[in-house]
Structure 1
Amino acid sequence: MLKSSDYNLGYVLKLSLISALGGLLFGYDISVISGAIPFITEYFDLNEWWKGFVVSSVYIGCMVGASLAGRLSDRYGRKPMLIVSALLFVISAIGSGIARDLSEFFIYRLIGGFGVGMASLLSPMYIAEIAPAEIRGRFVSLNQFTIVIGILVAYFVNYLLVDIGTNNWRWMFGSEAVPSIIFFAGMFLVPESPRWLIKANKFDEATNILKKIGGNTFAKETQSHIRETLENETRGTFRQLFNKVLRPVLLIGIILAVFQQWSGINVIFFYAPDIFSKTGINIETQLGQTVLVGVVNVTFTIVAILLVDQVGRKTLILIGSAGMAICYIIIGSMFKSDNLQGFGLLIMVLFTIAFYATSLAPVTWVLISEIFPNRIRGLAMAVATFFLWMACYLLTLTFPVMMDIFEGAITFWIYAAICIAGFFFIWRNIPETKGKTLEELEQLLKTREIPANI
């Protein structure tokens, strides 16, 4: 087995960073609305239900994009579908910025959702398929890193644009066109996934790419390993996904995806100004504190990238789940008190973000890209990612109403209970995957006893 120093890390990093621009746009697209909420609420005259619907509308597109991307990428390749997702981001950014009414705004946000759904599945999949096993976790985590960079950039742009006038929200959405065009152009500079090329019997192309990644020996061994795994396997079908061998693995992937969302963290990312407004501060201060949320998110994502291949996926996700549960219990108690202090709430929100960024944020994507067998990886990741976006849609749709009905205490205690349940599920059912090839993981999960009633 080669050491990480034996690989062409510069080449792998280049491919990973370009692909991970899809993650940056994922983060930008879902977060830019955070700063725009107060202004579009006034412009379109939205109540709490409509506010939740408008914020969550992007995730309807995400569900469709994620469900189509896996099968389309298995048929046409990872690279062409990433190019399509980039084009959708461009259309959504410009269209959302010039929308004349709520229906137009909804349609363009939906188109952006298609792009987010595709990129959320394909960017980590592409990176997982070009990165060697010894460094795969760190490189797949780059996708999460670019997601949080996208979130931070969107927060910062919102903060800069808040005082430019009544059309500030239009410029907030339109600004996304710049990174979208860069992503679109960059994808023409990367090769197709070598694993996909081998599945498509394009062995010479795959060999050339693998040689660039790790040299002749690595190319020969990796191609042999992949071909051996695929030799007697047919194209993945939904029926295969639900057979008795793969059904428990699929269920684990779905539960991981749903847990990442129902841990509640995205209500902080999307509704941070609303949450901070409960302390009585003005909109400029709300958006300034939201930038701090983005900075902490980026900082601790870097920590996660450094730790994921050393500490392991399972350990990180257990620590994060427990830490978030404790933070939510404290935040709920703060809302229960008669005197909600802005500084105390900000500190606890930042602690929550730190735990999430070190664990659930990157590790979920790493695990989902690792646990499925090669022949059905695209289809299985599409199913898991569909459920992830459905969970996110329900979370963001219901949060404004929950805060209106229950106020903050019960809402955040519900998220704490979900984190506790997730901790015990992961502790019992998720194997450690660090340092194993995708083919070794397939054999591990085939032979591992997974309770049928999970």
Structure 2
Amino acid sequence: MQNVSSGFNTRFILRVSFISALGGYLFGFDFAVIAGALPFLKASFSFNEYWEGFATASLALGCMVGCVFAGRLADQYGRRPALMLAAAIFLLSSLVMAFAGGKLFFVCCRLVAGIGVGMASTLSPLYIAEIAPAESRGRMVAINQLTIVLGILVTNIVNYLLRNSGDDAWRWMVGLGAVPSAFFLAGVYWLPESPRWLLKAGEKEKALKVLVRLGGSDYANEVVAKSNARKTQEVKSSYKAVFSKAVLPALLVGMTLAVFQQLCGINVVFNFATTIFESVGFSQDDQLKQTIFIGVVNLVFTVLAMWQVDKAGRKPLMLLGAGGLAVLYIISAVLLQQKSGLAAWTLLASIGVYAMSLAPVTWVLIAEIFPMSVRGAAVSVSVLALWLAYAILVFTFPILASRLGTYTPFYIYAGICVAGFFFIYKKVRETNGTSLDDIEEAAVPAH
């Protein structure tokens, strides 16, 4: 059904965006499943704080591998085949992981699952950004974050329901990842290829068909004309080109934002909620119940972010997130040090601030600030930096918490948020409502 007021086929764009964003659901699932599984894994495999950190960080190590391959595969063979490969990898690894007989095999399986997650986390927002029109691109890319938080919430609920299933409850928790990955694989098979990639590959007729379906013939002709105008200025797609003088300023911004999204620290609340709330005296049932509350708050504020990202703009939301988290972390650290249950409320508030700012907007910016000729590779490098930062974060937290108390890391994260605030203020340009072609024109000088 064509949207008469805007000229865009809104239903089709939404359908395509949601299917592609199922890659985000896989991210959310594997991200959250470890929080529920850790108490059982500790009992089954005698995890100490180092193995706890390694088991959590292994996902990120696999994601880094996935990111390296994702951009090159997507630039060479198309966004759609690369997304299908990501879904297949996750499907198989989830099934095998459920039968792990030892901690090393479990960690290796989780690492392989991370390859699929890393590919999907790179390609889903990239694909959506190339499909969506400028005026709704922020909301459409934020759908990827919505599916991430849905994955987190649903997984937390399932983990809670499985809590009394015995010592092997973790096997059901991780094995159920095969279900969303099967739906994702089937859905991606239906998706059209990115019209911008088709134009880059010289498939003009196929690109026009997709563009006409998205926004009509006038929109299709406009995109093709802008694409042709940029071809004379294109850099050959390669990782060397990503680090060229023309692209490097955007790359540094993208990588820094990606690293900041992780080192801001919020993901320790998602991944180690049971450890954090145990330190203030919560029972195991209450610990798992808190993960559900975290998922609900995360979902509500992500929906709010989708409503605001194309209204308030990218930069104001990013500044709100950095500044708000810095304040809330200091309060949370004080309460955790006092072993006060009130820390649960300030940490939930932190989740809300993050969910409506740094979480979705970082993905939006990473997906839209790079030139088309190297976009796949550049997004890969940025997301690779994101996963490296995540691995560092989740590996170090159990060690810091064990030796210095669960409150100490939050003082560190508050300092990182202050530094992030000033970086965003000085270096991030507003891209709200600007077409990808115009962003590229402004960011990359002619050669």
> Which TM-score applies when normalising by structure 1?
0.96
* Among candidates 385, 388, 391, match of residue 390 of structure 1: 388
TM-aligned CA deviation for residue 230 of structure 1? 2.3
Q: Given the alignment, which residue of 434, 437, 440 partners 2:438?
A: 440
Matches within 5 A, 1:103-118: 103-118=104-119
Which deviations, in whole Å up to 9, do the C-alpha atoms of 1:214-260 show, x marking residues without a partner?
Answer: 01111111111122212442422333222333212111111000000
Shift of 1:176: 1.1
- One-letter amino acid of the structure 1 residue matched with residue 414 of structure 2: A
Counterpart amino acid of residue 196 in structure 1: W
Instruction: Name 1:21's counterpart in structure 2.
Output: 22
Deviation at 1:177, TM superposition (A): 1.0
C-alpha RMSD of the superposition: 1.4
> What's the counterpart of residue 416 of structure 1?
414
Deviation readout 1:355-385 (Å, 9 max, x if unpaired):
0001000000000001111101011111111
Partner of 2:340: 341
Whether the aligned pair in 2 keeps the contact of 1:318 and 1:427 (CA below 8 Å) is: yes
The answer for unaligned runs of 5 or more in structure 1 is 448-454
Give the AA of the match of 1:13: L
**Residues 4 and 135 of structure 1 are in contact (CA less than 8 Å); yes or no, is this contact kept in structure 2?**
no
- 2:271 counterpart residue number: 270
Deviations 1:120-153 (A, max 9, x none): 0000000000101111111000000000000111
Q: With structure 2 as the length reference, what TM-score do the two structures score?
A: 0.97
Aligned to 1:450: none
Where do 1:366-377 residues align within 5 Å? 366-377=364-375
In structure 1, distance between residues paired with 2:158 and 2:398: 24
Deviations 1:18-70 (A, max 9, x none): 00000011110111010010110111111111110111111110000011100
Q: Give the residue type in structure 1 aligned to 2:407.
A: A
- Corresponding position of 2:426: 428
Shift of 1:406: 1.4
Percent identical across equivalent pairs?
47
Cα deviation for residue 415 of structure 1 reads 0.3
Q: Does 1:323 align with 2:321?
A: no
Counterpart Cα distance in 2 of 1:420 and 1:175: 39
Which SS does the other structure have where 1:98 is aligned?
coil
Amino acid at match of 1:27: G
Partner of 2:262: 261
Aligned counterparts of 1:75 and 1:446: Cα–Cα separation in 2: 22
Change (3 A) 1:389 1:3: farther
Q: Which residue of 1 aligns with 2:59?
A: 58
Alpha-carbon separation, structure 2, partners of 1:335 and 1:273: 14
Mapped to 2, the partners of 1:142 and 1:232 lie a distance apart of 32
Residues 113 and 94 from structure 1, CA distance in 2 versus in 1: closer, same or farther, beyond 3 angstroms?
same
Superposition deviation, residue 274 in structure 1: 1.0
* Worse-superposed segment, 40-49 or 115-124: 40-49
Partner of 2:99: 98
Counterparts of 1:300-311 in structure 2 under 5 Å?
A: 300-311=301-312
Q: Does 1:298 align with 2:299?
A: yes
Residue 33 of structure 1 corresponds to 34
Aligned residue type for 1:85: A
1:67-107 Cα shifts (integer Å, max 9, x gaps):
11001100010000100111111112111111111222122
**Match in the other structure for 1:241:** 242
State the Cα distance separating 1:4 from its structure 2 match. Answer: 6.4
Say how many residue pairs are matched. 444
Deviation at 1:446, TM superposition (A): 3.3
CA offset digits 1:383-432 (Å, max 9, x no partner)? 11101000000000000001011113321000000000000000011000
The residue type equivalent to 1:435 in the other structure is G
Superposed CA offset, 1:292-344 (max 9, x none): 0000000000000000000000000101111111110001111222xx222x1
Is the Cα–Cα contact under 8 Å of residues 235 and 374 in structure 2 kept in the other structure? no
Could you tell me whether the CA contact under 8 Å between 1:257 and 1:387 is conserved in 2?
yes
Aligned residue in 2 for 1:286: 287
Q: Any unmatched runs of 5+ in structure 2?
A: none
User: Pairwise mapping of residues 124-143 of structure 1 onto structure 2 (< 5 A)?
Assistant: 124-143=125-144
Q: 1:204-219 maps to which residues of 2 (within 5 A)?
A: 204-219=205-220
Offset of 1:3 from its aligned partner?
Answer: 8.6
C-alpha distance in 1, partners of 2:426/2:56? Answer: 35
Name the structure 2 match of 1:401.
399
For the Cα contact (< 8 Å) 1:321–1:422, is it kept in 2? yes
C-alpha distance in structure 1 between counterparts of 2:265 and 2:93, whole Å: 26
- 1:222 corresponds in structure 2 to 223
Secondary structure of 1:349's counterpart equals: helix
Q: Which amino acid aligns with 1:341?
A: S
SS in 2 for 1:408: coil
- Classify the secondary structure of the residue corresponding to 1:70: helix
